[in-house]
Amino acid sequence: MIERVLAGRYKIVAPIGEGGMSRVWRAQDQNTGKSVAVKVLRDEYREDETFVRRFEREALAASKMTHPNIANLLDVGMEEDGTRYLVIEYVPGKTLKQFIQESGSIRPETAAQIIMRVLAAVQHAHQNGVIHRDIKPQNILIDREGTVKVADFGIAHLANSQTMNQDTETVMGSVYYFSPEQAKGAVVDEKSDIYSVGAVFYEMLTGRVPFTGDTPVAIAMKHLQELPVPPSEINGAVSAAMDFVVLHAMEKRPRNRYASAADMLQEVRLALEHPDTILAARAEADRRAREARAQEKRKQRALRRVRWMRRALVSVFAALLFAVIALAGYTVTAQILQSRRQTVEVPNVIGLKNDIGINALLEVELEIIPQYAEYPLVPDGYIADQSIAPGTFARRGDKITIMICQSKYDLSAPNVVGMSVSQAQKTIIGLNIAVGNLTFETNPATPDTVIGQTPSAGTPIKRGDKIDLIVSGGRVTMPDLVGMTQQEAEQKVVAYRLAISDTPSVATNDPAMVGKVVRQMPAAYMSVRPNSTVVVEIGIPGDVLLEEVITLDLTALQPGQTVTVCLVDENGEEARMFSRTLEEPIEELDIRVYSQTPRAAPYVVYFDDERRFTGTVIFKP
């Protein structure tokens, strides 16, 4: 394939990698001089309808998406000899898997920033009806500037199809990250991708995958049956709030996971910026619940062993004693039966009215110790918990403590306006009141300061009620991006703690604005919250513009240097039409330039900031 040219345009330069059904090559687009990735279906699968459909499905899925965190599809084609190929954006850099292998665990702050960009890409795919089904670090690319790209939609399905996990050739590479429903071969949906993102996040935070095993089947069974060790137990730098996000995304049942990638992204940001938020409390509650379930399972297993041993011993002793001395056997058996008559099975009184539950415990002759406390989700006078687990055995006369919900009493909402978010949350939780919704608003007050609350201070409330907080998100003045290239605009908004969410194209008849920001939303100099998203419209040639091509000799230009082309207008002023920093040596490069009128236009070429040569391009009508 080396040196082969596809579609008369894409010259194959070097191999990048290969997968189960295709090989990926780095190629040069001879029209633009840019490097691209070309994914070619293996020769042995050209006539196989299954693989051809899958290849076409990948093209269809990729064509639905354009996002800064997705390796975008540029072209699709098939040669006369049957060679099928996809042309994809080339991302020079490393896979996330390579980063993890080189550095082990990644700092939680960095890992959170990476996973938020992955979630933004996954949310975009889901909004366009595409389920990736193979999210893993090998399919997440990070270029030299730190841009994160999700790639390889080779086994993606459209969300409105019956998406079954039947791609057995992908199991070996993906079994560490796929969801329990994929392990069972069941129908998958958007929440399967969320589980996989959680597994990737887990590996970034800990430096190891959630589950390991000797075979793919052993690993798949752990996805179905076992709980992952919380990341904070492996890496002490991981907060309880971050623990909660990872384990919530990796819930066994899809309905218990995040409703969408956007919801998970929001909680990752909350855990990153406010690790002491209610997420930490929820994480602690989840931990206690997991420990309680595990302890109950151990208790039940021990009980089953005791029951089995008791039955076995009774049978053995009875047989031996009956065979040796019938009278002695009768005596021992009588004693055992008498002992069993002293043992009772503890009834389940949780959820019963206290008098009914007490009567049930008295019937089995247990001594009752009542305690009273508040339980927001339990009606007054009902039993919320019991000290001996239901279904276990106790001796008659044993003590059992039951927790009865007592009447709630009124409180007044505390005044938390002016406090930091963490101080306000500690104050509210300390009164056994819940923290409700956190709403961030643009405000000149110090970021993360409470500027409002509902209900207001002094309002009568009950334990368990919620207080919603309005928090200052700070204020950033929107920079003026018009006239910048897309790359310049992205660098500018990052410096202002903002992010570009979309870059639609718009036709322009101003030659100086082709390839540059024509409009932006929000407008320049508006006050916005930090981390707000910006939409910029990038100019493309309109119908009125005349187009010509300048071929540049770049043999003297070294990698790392920048070539800039400026066109001189009718007033003698230079307008920058093109600028690019070379990543690898290029002998020639074709540059497209534009004019509104037919004319002979002088142009100037700069290497870095040094004027190297000039020329004239003729724009013909």
Q: Do 528 and 550 fall within a single domain?
A: no
Q: Do 464 and 586 fall within a single domain?
A: no
pLDDT interval class at 160 (50, 70, 90): very low
Q: What is the CATH number of the domain that holds 509?
A: 3.30.10.20
Active site residues: 134
pLDDT at 171 over 70: no
Q: What's the pLDDT score for residue 173? A: 41
Q: What's the pLDDT score for residue 321? A: 67
What lies within 8 Å, CB to CB, of 469 at 6+ separation is 416, 421, 424, 435, 436, 437, 438, 439, 450, 452, 453
* Segment 279-310, tens digit of pLDDT: 555 555 555 556 666 677 777 777 777 677 77
Identify whether the C-beta of residue 131 lies closer than 8 Å to the C-beta of residue 157. yes
Q: Do 352 and 437 fall within a single domain?
A: no
pLDDT at 467 over 50: yes
Q: Do 403 and 425 fall within a single domain?
A: no
Q: Do 105 and 141 fall within a single domain?
A: yes
Mean pLDDT of 504-533: 87
Angstrom distance (rounded) from CA 576 to CA 566: 4
Q: Do 29 and 49 fall within a single domain?
A: yes
Top pLDDT among 610 and 302 is at 610
Q: Do 272 and 128 fall within a single domain?
A: yes
* Segment 469-493, tens digit of pLDDT: 998 877 788 899 998 988 889 888 8
Q: Do 257 and 186 fall within a single domain?
A: yes
Angstrom distance (rounded) from CA 172 to CA 167: 11
Q: What's the pLDDT score for residue 169? A: 37
pLDDT interval class at 326 (50, 70, 90): low
Angstrom distance (rounded) from CA 570 to CA 600: 10
* Segment 407-453, tens digit of pLDDT: 555 567 889 999 988 888 878 876 767 788 888 887 777 778 899 99
User: Among all chains, which residue has been given the structure tokens 């909350």?
Assistant: 270
Q: What is the CATH number of the domain that holds 25?
A: 3.30.200.20
What distance lies between CA 198 and its chain's CA centroid?
6
Q: What's the pLDDT score for residue 382? A: 80
In the chain, pLDDT over 70 holds for what percent of residues?
A: 86
pLDDT interval class at 377 (50, 70, 90): low
Q: What's the pLDDT score for residue 487? A: 85
pLDDT at 534 over 50: yes
Phi first, then psi, for residue 215 (nearest 5°) are -135, 160
> What is the full DSSP assignment across 333-357?
HHHHHHHHHTEEEPP--TTSBHHHH
Q: What's the pLDDT score for residue 357? A: 86
pLDDT interval class at 570 (50, 70, 90): confident
Q: What's the pLDDT score for residue 283? A: 55
- Strand pairing class (367-373; 399-405): parallel
* Segment 12-33, tens digit of pLDDT: 999 988 877 889 999 999 999 9
pLDDT at 61 over 60: yes
The average confidence (pLDDT) of the chain is: 84
Residue whose C-alpha is closest to residue 364's, from 402, 338, 404, 397: 397
Residue 443 structural domain: 410-472
What lies within 8 Å, CB to CB, of 507 at 6+ separation is 539, 540, 541, 542, 543
Q: Do 378 and 505 fall within a single domain?
A: no
Q: Do 289 and 268 fall within a single domain?
A: no
Q: What is the CATH number of the domain that holds 255?
A: 1.10.510.10
* Segment 380-417, tens digit of pLDDT: 778 878 999 888 888 888 999 988 776 555 567 889 99
Q: What's the pLDDT score for residue 179? A: 93
Q: CA dist 366 to 345, 348, 363, Å?
A: 10, 13, 8
Of 391, 407, 423, which marks where a domain is finished? 407
Residue whose C-alpha is closest to residue 383's, from 408, 344, 409, 348: 348
**Domain count along the chain:** 7
Quote the longest CA-to-CA distance of the chain: 125
Of 359, 378, 407, which marks where a domain is finished? 407
* Segment 188-213, tens digit of pLDDT: 889 999 999 999 999 999 999 999 99
* Segment 331-345, tens digit of pLDDT: 555 555 555 557 888
Mean pLDDT of 500-516: 87
Q: Do 23 and 58 fall within a single domain?
A: yes
Per the DSSP assignment, residues forming a β-bridge with 564 are 579, 606
pLDDT interval class at 168 (50, 70, 90): very low
Mean pLDDT of 35-55: 88
Q: Do 271 and 420 fall within a single domain?
A: no
Q: What's the pLDDT score for residue 290? A: 62
pLDDT at 348 over 70: yes
Q: What is the CATH number of the domain that holds 576?
A: 2.60.40
pLDDT interval class at 246 (50, 70, 90): very high
